[in-house]
Amino acid sequence: MQLNIKDHVAVVTGGASGIGLAVARGFAAEGARVAIWDLAKNVTTAAADLASECGVATCGIATDICDEAQVLDAAAATARELGPIDHVVHCAAIGSGKFGFPFTNLQPSDWRATLEVNIMGTVHVAHAVAEPMKQRKSGTIVFISSVAGQIGSQTDPPYSASKAAVINFAQCTAKDLAPHGIRVNSVCPGMVQTPLNRGVWQAWNEQQPPDQQRSYEDWAEEKIKAVVPLGQWQTPEDIADMVVFLSSNRAAHVTGQTINVDGGFVMHW
């Protein structure tokens, strides 16, 4: 299937590792020019490696999505280096780092950083890219949310609540931007072995009595068998495939949707 996004410009926040890097690689493999916005120290080398691997123009921009001015500067720098932004995939997010079952395991102060990054960071990105897209009457935005935002996962309530907000915000922006030819969707990964997922296990494991603690591998295998009908982990590449498709004209009539890539974890009847 030809996605016809060669020479388009794609921005991937949180693109220096994990799902974000897989998304960036997915765009580059289709011939798109890719900007990675990330706070990670390897942001410039990740972009350079991608350029070498796929033979496309890239740039890596150190960006704190909690800082509105930095996000605006990153958008302007991307446009100068690569051209007007066609696609944005917002992957950058954090968890609270604490096991939240019951929610009273956490203090209200434990919520602030997660909400700031995951909600206000999303708002900053959307504001930075929406106006230029509106002027061009085209563009796509994909927010990476989570199945945790749909099922009220008790593992990390701040993370779950923030991802529910991302899903809702995607629908709000999809309605607002549709008259300008801009599509907005959210993609919800299920069980993906990323540093964030390992952090969830770590927070859980530390709360268990010593005789009930499990290795990450044992915990993960048991959880997959219990909650995922297809019985397999999803990979970052699985998420990337969906994101790149949604960003292409092959999904020209898909907007305001919440699409799960989760092996059947969440099924709405």
Known catalytic residues? 159
Q: What tokens were used for 66?
A: 């909690």
Q: CA 187, CA 238: separation in Å to the nearest integer? A: 11
Confirm if 29 and 3 have CB atoms less than 8 A apart: no
Q: Of 170, 76, 177, 82, which is closest to residue 118 (Cα–Cα)?
A: 170
Give Cα 179 distance to the centre of its chain: 25
Task: List, in sequence order, the alpha helices (H) in 96-235.
Answer: 112-115, 121-136, 148-151, 157-177, 195-205, 216-227
Per-residue CA distances from 266 to 112, 130, 189, 262 (Å): 27, 30, 10, 7
Give Cα 256 distance to the centre of its chain: 16
Residue with token string 């994909």: 142
Residue with token string 């997922």: 197
